[in-house]
Amino acid sequence: MTPEIIGTVAIQSPAGRFLSAVQQRVRAGFLIGRPLSRSNYAVVSTAPDRITVRAADWLTAVNIGLNDIELRLSTPGSVHYRVRFWRWAQYVIGLSGVLGLAGVILLLTLDVRTYIAEHGESRLPGLSVDQNVTVVWVIVLFFGLVWPWILIAWHKRPLRKVITRIIHEVDAQAGSA
């Protein structure tokens, strides 16, 4: 469950013009083609057949997760992309971990069992007090440890749509140049 997506998108423009248009897009605002505070990207490296772009600051990195982008034009008429979103994943894992740790601390310091026993409306119907306490522990541990990995897996589809949209827009710009 690596925070990474890989794919290929067909393009019409020649490699040189496409890569030049990517550089222009990064300068203009990588996400939407105009400046945006959460779209601060920088070109890290270029070669005749590839370009690497990286989110330049933390705010951009956690915005949508396009952290490290490699666009490679090894086959005419197509762009192979690789997007790594480790910084976005670290944010999600860290936030869930902090919330999970806070939940564990609260469960260990507060008398949750007595609270549930004294407040019948807080119980899940049909479960004993001990079963309700177990459910609370499972919920805290789930959202602290498992949930971020589910979010990382779910995040791949929207990222594919975004990078595909950007590639198509850059290709259209390169074709009209």
Domain residue extents for the chain:
4-87+157-176, 89-150
pLDDT attached to residue 11: 96
pLDDT attached to residue 74: 84
- SS3 of residue 18 by DSSP: helix
109 to each of 102, 112, 133, how far by Cα in Å?
10, 9, 14
Q: Could you read off the pLDDT of 114-141 as tens digits, one per residue?
A: 999 999 888 899 999 999 999 999 999 9
- Are β-strands 41-47 and 50-55 bridged in parallel, bridged antiparallel, or unpaired? antiparallel
Percent of the chain whose predicted confidence (pLDDT) is above 70: 99
The topology under which CATH files domain 4-87+157-176 is TATA-Binding Protein (3.30.310)
Q: Could you read off the pLDDT of 30-81 as tens digits, one per residue?
A: 998 888 888 899 999 999 999 999 999 999 999 999 999 999 998 889 999 9
- pTM beyond 0.85: yes
